[in-house]
Amino acid sequence: MNRSLPLALALLLSASWALGCRGSSSSEPGAPNLLSISDISPADGTTLGAGSSVTFAATLDYALNSSGAAAITLIVQDQNGRVLNPDNEVTTIVSQGIGSVRLTGQAVVPATGVSLVRVIFALQPTAPVSTQVTAFATYPVRP
């Protein structure tokens, strides 16, 4: 898919790169890794029904600067951090640079005990010194 990054992300990257060029040494970190949700279905904040099966589909914009590659994973959790899609975590590998990726995954909202679902997208670079970057959407659950 050939989508342009949102203006805010492009401006942030430009500012980060400009700051990185001022008197930086090789021991200082470069531009940060970034991850943002440009489109998600169902929409962030949509109320989900307890006991329902939900398909989450999202387009993510990323900037990977710290490593040659990274994994982006879709993780669905409840309000206590319990993973609701342990056997269905969707992962894709992206290369260094700026791009967009579409991820689609499913989870079943438990019939009881869940008041909130959070869909987390985690960008984890392969370099051991790189830190994970996340973006997420939150959904209330009705009984």
Taking only the tens place, the pLDDT of each residue in 42-101 is 999 999 999 999 999 999 999 999 999 999 999 999 999 999 999 989 999 999 999 999
**Residue range 26-41: mean pLDDT, rounded:** 81
Taking only the tens place, the pLDDT of each residue in 118-130 is 999 999 998 777 7
The answer to whether residue 6 scores a pLDDT higher than 90 is: no
Q: Are 77 and 83 in contact (CB under 8 A)?
A: yes
Q: What distances in angstroms separate CA 100 from CA 54, 107, 115, 133, one per listed residue?
A: 23, 23, 31, 15
CATH of the domain at 107: 2.60.40.3880
Number of domains in the chain: 1
- SS3 assignment, position 17: helix
Question: Is residue 2, in this structure, part of any structural domain at all?
Answer: no
Question: Is residue 1, in this structure, part of any structural domain at all?
Answer: no
Beta strands of the chain (E only): which ranges? 34-41, 48-49, 53-78, 90-108, 116-125, 133-142
Please name the amino acid found at residue 60: L
Its domain, for residue 49, covers 7-142
Question: Is residue 80, in this structure, part of any structural domain at all?
Answer: yes
C-alpha dihedral over 133, 29, 96, 57, to 10 degrees? 10
Question: Is residue 72, in this structure, part of any structural domain at all?
Answer: yes
Peptide bond into 128 cis (omega under 30): no
